[in-house]
Chains A and B, each alone.
Chain A
Amino acid sequence: MAFFLARRLVQAVLILLGVAAITFLLLYFLPADPAVLIAGRSATPQMVAAIRHELGLDQPLVMQFVHYVGNLLHGDLGRSYTQKTEVLPLILARLPATLILMAAGIVVEVALGLTFGIIAAVRRGGFVDRSVMMLSFVGVSSPQFVVALLLLYVFAATLGWFPMSGFGSARHVVLPALTLGVLGAGWYARMVRSAMIEVLRQDYVRTAHAKGLSGRRVVLGHALPNALLPIIAMVGIDIGQFMSGVVVVEAVYGWPGIGQLAWQAIQQVDVPIIMGVTLVSALAIVLGNLLADFVAPFVDPRIRS
Chain B
Amino acid sequence: MPTMNIIQAVNNALRIQMALEPKSIVLGEDVGKFGGVFRATSGLYDEFGEERVIDTPLAEAGIIGAAIGMAVYGMRPIPEIQFSDFIFPAFDQIVNELAKFRYRSGGQYPCPVVIRTPVGGGIRGGHYHSQSPEALFVHTPGIKVVIPSNPYDAKGLLLSCLRQDDPVLFMEPKKIYRASRGDVPENDYTVELGKAKVTREGDQVTLIAYGAMLHVIEEAAAKAAEIGISCEVIDLRTLMPFDIETITESVTKNGRAVMVHEAPQTCGYGAEICSSLYERCMAHLEAPIGRVCGFDTPFPYSLEHEYMPNAARVLGAIRKTLEW
Is the A/B pair a real complex? Answer: no
B-binding residues in A (CB < 8 A): none
